[in-house]
Amino acid sequence: MALAAVACVALAACSGNGDEEAETAAAPATDASTTISQPDQSTTTKAAPTTTTATTTTAAPEPKPKPKPKPKPSPSGPQETPRKIAVMVENLYSPSRAQSGRPQWGLSGAQVLFENVVEGGITRFMAIYDSNVPGPPLIGPVRSARLPFVQIAHGFDAEYAHWGGSQFALELLADPQYGQLNAEGNAVAGFRRTSERAAPHNGITSWEMLNHAANALGRDQVSVIDEPWRTEAAKPKAEVQVGAIGLTFSTNRAMDVCFQYNRATNSYDRFTNDGGMTPHVELLTGAQLSPTTVIVMEMDASIFNNGRSRYVHTQTTGYGPLYLFKNGQRVDGGWSRPTTDKQIALTTHDGKNIALPPGQTWVALIVRSEGGTLDPRPPGATCTP
């Protein structure tokens, strides 16, 4: 490649290429410019000699201030980065663990996570992993491809791992420029099923398996990204502006989430509505998911209904409002992207690039017409009653 959650209800949608998934879920009750200093050029010189034998005393020259180093320009344009692999992960909630997508395997090891409503009011995740960081031993439940996620992964020049997909996503992935790893196609050996859950909620993989599959297919060892996101040092502020971030994605209350700022870790503890706001944990470790940065992007969407499923195709190109939360602070701005082969730009209202602290970044794409909302809460607010 040169550049580049959710359950079936009907058993028929759980086999084959997975492109016709009708999705439902048990909905819990609502809880509802650097200045360079110039050296001093003045010195004191020795006085001219006279006819006497006496000499003048020369004063010691004042020390010249050391010039400040010029700031290095931020990198721009296409850059080679370590190989990235994006994995589709389920987020269906069911009181029955065997029929649920929660809790998931391996989300805490992702560098970036995207969350977006797909159909049936249910969200799905795309977790992006980087070969520069040791990948988790298990990732899943792996689910089928959806068009908006394919387009976003293309901007990261990532290999796109999925288990089948919708008609629209598979048609796009047929283009060789999209580096797909399909459990029902070219990368069967990169996936397996576990007996811990019922199909289709039991598809799993790992970084090692996917990396091996990509190598076997002769894929590039690097991902070339146009204008990668900027980074900065972590710097928690003395004054917290936002204590918690409430989000809805649809009218399905099981998809409601909340991020609560944790000053001790300078990150945002995630909660999901599992019959009440509950810590969203990582199945491998039991630890609560807690990204360093939360980004909320408002996007429009087109609806495609094939008679069996109503697909929400979020429009990932263009521009729209952006709300970014880091270090307990809120930064308002905008996102923009001219074409799907470009990275999504994150800028302030005056056009400056927004830098992200190190750690995991969680990106929530909300579609207002589908019931998406943002509720930033004051300092001291929590996600639980």
In order, the DSSP letters of 263-306 are: TTTTEEEEEEESSSEEE-BBTTT-PBP--SEEEEEE--EEEEE-
Are the CB atoms for 197 and 100 separated by under 8 Å? yes
Task: Supply the pLDDT for residue 23.
Answer: 52
Pairing, β 301-305 against β 293-298: unpaired
What integer pLDDT is reported at residue 238 of this predicted model? 76
Through-space distance between the first and last CA atoms of the chain, rounded to whole angstroms: 48
Residues in the chain: 385
Contact status, residue 324 vs residue 354, Cβ threshold 8 Å: yes
- For residue 213, what pLDDT is reported? 96
pLDDT at position 42 is 38
Q: Hey, what are 23's tokens?
A: 């999705």
pLDDT at position 58: 42
Tokens 């521009």 identify what position?
Answer: 319
Six token digits for residue 202 = 């039991």
Amino acid sitting at position 249: F
Q: Which residue has the tokens 């263009």?
A: 318
DSSP letters for 72-92: PPPP-SEEEEE-EEEEEEE--
Q: Considering the entire predicted model, what is its pTM?
A: 0.82
Q: What is the CB neighbour count within 10 angstroms for residue 303? A: 12
Blockwise average pLDDT, block size 10, the chain, 385 residues: 36 40 48 37 39 42 41 58 96 94 97 96 97 91 97 96 96 93 95 96 97 94 86 83 97 97 96 96 96 98 90 96 96 96 95 95 97 97 93
Residue 200, preceding peptide bond in cis (omega within 30° of 0): yes
Cα distance between residue 373 and residue 80, in whole Å: 36
Residues whose CB is less than 8 angstroms from the CB of residue 95 and which lie 6 or more positions away in sequence, other chains included: 26, 275
Predicted pLDDT of residue 74:
43
